[in-house]
Amino acid sequence: MIEVRNLRKGFGDRTVISDVSAVMETGKCNLIIGASGSGKTVLMKCMVGLLDPDAGDIIYDNLRFTGMNTGEKKEMRRQIGMLFQGSALFDSMTVEQNVMFPLDMFSNMTRGEKQKRVDEVLARVQLVEAHRKFPAEISGGMKKRVGIARAIVLNPRYLFCDEPNSGLDPQTSLVIDKLIREITLEYNITTVVNTHDMNSVMEMGDRIFYMYQGYKEWEGSNQEIIFSKNEKLNAFIFASDFLRDAKDMRMLELKGRISDQRDMDSMLRES
Amino acid sequence: MYFFRHFGSFILMIRGMFSRPENYRMYWKELMHQCVELGIGSLGIVSIISVFIGAVSTVQTAYQLVSPLVPISTIAQIVRDTVILEFAPTLSCIVLAGVVGSKIASELGNMRVSEQIDALEIMGINTRAYLIMPKIVACLIMIPLLVVIAMTVGIWGGRFAGQAAGIMSYEVFDRGLFKDFIAYNVTFALTKAYTFAFIISAIPAYYGYHVRGGALEIGQSSTRAVVTSCVTVLLADYILAALLLD
């Protein structure tokens, strides 16, 4: 479990995060959503220690991360895996070397054991024939999967994913979302995902935190988001007519009012 | 103010490099990799420049030395001392500031922009120690060696040019080469080599590590790194000459 308490962060005169508190639960996909510039990336960077917050606390399973010294933070970070927006794979290394890197650096495994573990995680992300390829030779979706494999190779307790679907087609996005969700349940880890992809929200949002201009504006599950009366949230999520219609239909469906195809057709005509 | 902000940031970067390595074997591997990349990779260009500098020195000194009262072997002495004192350490390092400096700045800049440095930080790796320290140490090992090679090859180039241009025979050149040789000149040249090695690795590393933005900024920081390194090398050259050749 990760707890964020009254977090504040600014750059110069500009406040980017104002008094944000949230609890990210273990074994669940915790989504931070919001428009560009709403502070979700800064919040995530504060949570993993890439940025130091101006005030507030970040607590990892009763351990106060914000109060740790450099050495303790380094130790803590070994329990954190992160998938970056651009995958952040090391260009000069092959897929296999990228995934093996954390093992080379931090484990005392033998060469054979490391190879076995790498094969295992690459198989888990369905990448079995890309071992010898360089990042420049693989697709965006494959890069994301290598990023996930590298993030989980040391069996982390916390997984952070920054915009895992950016630059991917809807079908590949779905595969990545599914993979993140499966890994979260399989390894029973605390997953935090930064996204503004509504498919991801509906697909894997066990817990959703909506950020608006640096504040946490709304919090709930992917079922609750449909019925939310929060205007800012609705304006963000259901930005297009199509999505608004889809929302109405989903609401009706959930309320059991759409009984057959004929009702749905009439609703579509009305909209 | 701008200078002091950057200087302070530079000192913090250097201080941040000194921490216990997470894994000695990986650091050693990275150091060896950098020695090959930065040292062996620059051997060709340093050799070519040194041969021609030595050759041109011989020909131009002979052209200027018109008095029949000065023995012709003096040309070899002048070539030896200019190559050892100035051309091999300073000129080689100016060229290396371009070759090695831009390589370091663009490599680190690209890693910063593509979040590779953040990825290493998240893993709990001290990126200053893992990425910058091996580059600086590799330069401190390899650049003095390259300077020694530049001295040898430069003098050889001068000797060859003297014979090829009909200025003097190898025997005459060799006589001048060993006459009144001052060993301290080599010590001075190596002192310069170590100083320049630090400058041309640490300054580009600073610029590359602190890049913000995208591809355009990587190019800009790379250019800035090379220019700053070259100017600093020349400034250090003057300071060392004034201090050590008194």
- For residues A172 and A63, membership in a common domain is answered with yes
Query: Which residues in chain B have their CB less than 8 angstroms from residue A50's CB?
Result: 118, 121-122
> Going by C-beta distance under 8 Å and a sequence separation of 6 or more, which residues neighbour residue A232?
A210, A212, A217, A218
Contact status of B118 with chain A (Cβ, < 8 Å): yes
Distance from CA of A178 to the nearest CA of B (A): 23
| B209: three-class secondary structure by DSSP | helix
Q: Can you give the pLDDT at residue A264?
A: 47
CB A47 within 8 A of CB A160: yes
Name which of A3, A162, A136 is nearest A81 in CA terms.
A162
Across-strand partners of A32?
A: A194, A209
Q: Can you give the pLDDT at residue B20?
A: 87
Distance from CA of B27 to the nearest CA of A (A): 9
Name which of B126, B125, B134, B52 is nearest B88 in CA terms.
B52
- For residues A263 and A131, membership in a common domain is answered with no
Calculate ∠ Cα B48-B54-B58, nearest 5°: 145
- State the Cα–Cα distance between residues B84 and A20, nearest whole angstrom: 64
What digits encode the pLDDT tens for the residues B37-68? 999 999 999 999 999 999 999 999 999 987 88
Chains A, B: CB pairs < 8 Å: 54
- For residues A170 and A75, membership in a common domain is answered with yes
Cβ contact, residue pair B123, A78, below 8 Å: yes
- State the Cα–Cα distance between residues A17 and A255, nearest whole angstrom: 37
Query: By percentage, how much of chain B surpasses pLDDT 70?
Result: 100
Q: Can you give the pLDDT at residue A200?
A: 83
Mean pLDDT of A35-63: 91
Contact status of B124 with chain A (Cβ, < 8 Å): yes
Query: Which residues in chain B have their CB less than 8 angstroms from residue A192's CB?
Result: none
pLDDT interval class at B246 (50, 70, 90): confident
Other C-beta atoms lying within 10 Å of the C-beta of residue A240: 9
- For residues A260 and A188, membership in a common domain is answered with no
| Chain A nearest-CA residue for B127 | A74
Amino acid at B177: L
Query: Which residues in chain A have their CB less than 8 angstroms from residue B22's CB?
Result: 74, 105-106
Q: Can you give the pLDDT at residue B2?
A: 82
From A77, A105, A106, residue closest to B122, measured CB to CB: A77
- For residues A197 and A111, membership in a common domain is answered with yes
Query: Which residues in chain B have their CB less than 8 angstroms from residue A81's CB?
Result: 122
Total number of residues shown for chain B: 246
CB B87 within 8 A of CB B185: no
Mean pLDDT of A170-197: 90
| Chain B nearest-CA residue for A46 | B122
CB B26 within 8 A of CB B126: no
Query: Which residues in chain A have their CB less than 8 angstroms from residue B119's CB?
Result: 82, 84, 88, 90, 150
Mean pLDDT of A145-156: 93
> Going by C-beta distance under 8 Å and a sequence separation of 6 or more, which residues neighbour residue A93?
A101, A134, A135
- For residues A138 and A250, membership in a common domain is answered with no
The domain containing residue A43 runs over which residues?
Answer: 2-236
CB B46 within 8 A of CB B149: yes
Q: Give the residue, A21 or B2, on which the prediction is more confident.
A: A21
Q: Can you give the pLDDT at residue A253?
A: 66
Contact status of B114 with chain A (Cβ, < 8 Å): yes
- For residues A222 and A255, membership in a common domain is answered with no
Cβ contact, residue pair A77, B114, below 8 Å: no
* HEC per residue, chain A: CEEEEEEEEEECCEEEEEEEEEEECCCCEEEEEECCCCCHHHHHHHHHCCCCCCEEEEEECCEEHHHCCHHHHHHHHCCEEEECCCCCCCCCCCHHHHHHHHHHHHCCCCHHHHHHHHHHHHHHCCCCCCCCCCHHHCCHHHHHHHHHHHHHCCCCCEEEEECCCCCCCHHHHHHHHHHHHHHHHHHCCEEEEEECCHHHHHHHCCEEEEEECCEEEEEECCCHHHHCCCHHHHHHHCCCHHHHHHHHHHHHHHCCCCCCHHHHHHHHHHC
Task: List, as one string, the DSSP characters of B134-145.
Answer: HHHHHHHHHHHH
- For residues A164 and A246, membership in a common domain is answered with no
Lookup: tokens for A44: 């995530």
Residue A152's alpha-carbon distances to A128, A130, A159, B77, in angstroms, are: 16, 17, 8, 65
Distance from CA of B226 to the nearest CA of A (A): 23
Cβ contact, residue pair B124, A85, below 8 Å: no
- State the Cα–Cα distance between residues A252 and B108, nearest whole angstrom: 54
- For residues A197 and A268, membership in a common domain is answered with no
- State the Cα–Cα distance between residues A77 and A261, nearest whole angstrom: 52
pLDDT interval class at B201 (50, 70, 90): very high
The chain-wide mean pLDDT, for chain A, equals 86
- For residues A223 and A105, membership in a common domain is answered with yes
Query: Which residues in chain A have their CB less than 8 angstroms from residue B36's CB?
Result: none
Contact status of B23 with chain A (Cβ, < 8 Å): yes
What digits encode the pLDDT tens for the residues A204-214? 889 999 999 99
Q: Please say if the pLDDT value at position B196 is more than 70.
A: yes
What digits encode the pLDDT tens for the residues A220-256? 988 888 788 888 888 887 766 666 676 666 666 666 6
- State the Cα–Cα distance between residues A224 and A208, nearest whole angstrom: 9
What digits encode the pLDDT tens for the residues A83-137? 998 889 999 999 999 999 999 999 989 999 999 999 999 998 888 888 899 999 9
Which pTM value belongs to this model? 0.87
Distance from CA of A45 to the nearest CA of B (A): 10
Under an 8 Å CB criterion, which residues of A touch B? Answer: 48-50, 73-78, 80-82, 84-86, 88-91, 101-102, 104-106, 150, 160
DSSP letter assigned to residue B80: H
Q: Can you give the pLDDT at residue A240?
A: 61
Strands A80-83 and A158-162: parallel
Cβ contact, residue pair A77, B115, below 8 Å: no
CATH number of the domain enclosing A131: 3.40.50.300
A13's torsion region: left (phi>0), alpha (psi -120 to 50) or beta? alpha
Query: By percentage, how much of chain A surpasses pLDDT 70?
Result: 88
ipTM of this predicted complex? 0.83
Number of folded domains that form chain A: 2
Cβ contact, residue pair B115, A85, below 8 Å: yes
